[in-house]
Amino acid sequence: MARVIFTFEEKPGKEVVVENVDPDYSILEIAEDNDVHLNHNCGGVCACSTCHVYIEQGEDFLEEISDKEEDFIDRAINPRIESRLGCQCVILEKNAEIKVQIPDQSKIIGHEH
């Protein structure tokens, strides 16, 4: 089973490790299922940039980035080369290990969990 490690740009942010993750789930779904705060104004359908994350490790275990996702990442706060949208980062393999940094969510207006 896959393993996802969440770190947080906001300080103090305690690392959250999620074990035994099934493939075919997105980073956003995993965050939601494990009480990890990640905004998602559009409900996870690649129509905004609020679930913006940084993939620090394991990008090869995720679905490839689409042109539509790239367009929305350009609208995110502080995009980087490792930027992705959590709703579009679907895990492909059961042996994946992925490290995700969640950017500062305090500057995002909208839907919070």
The token pair at 43 is: 């409900």
Domain boundaries, the chain: 2-104
Instruction: Write the CATH number of the domain with boundaries 2-104.
Output: 3.10.20.30
CA distance 100 to 113: 18
CA distance 61 to 59: 5
Instruction: Walk along the chain (113 residues) and give the pLDDT tens digit of each residue.
Output: 999 999 999 877 789 999 999 999 999 999 999 999 999 999 999 999 999 999 999 999 999 999 999 999 999 999 999 999 999 999 999 999 999 999 998 877 655 44
The pLDDT assigned to 105 comes to 85
Instruction: Provide the whole-model pTM.
Output: 0.92
Do 45 and 36 contact (CB within 8 A), yes or no? no
Listing DSSP states for 20-32 in one string gives EEPTT-BHHHHHH
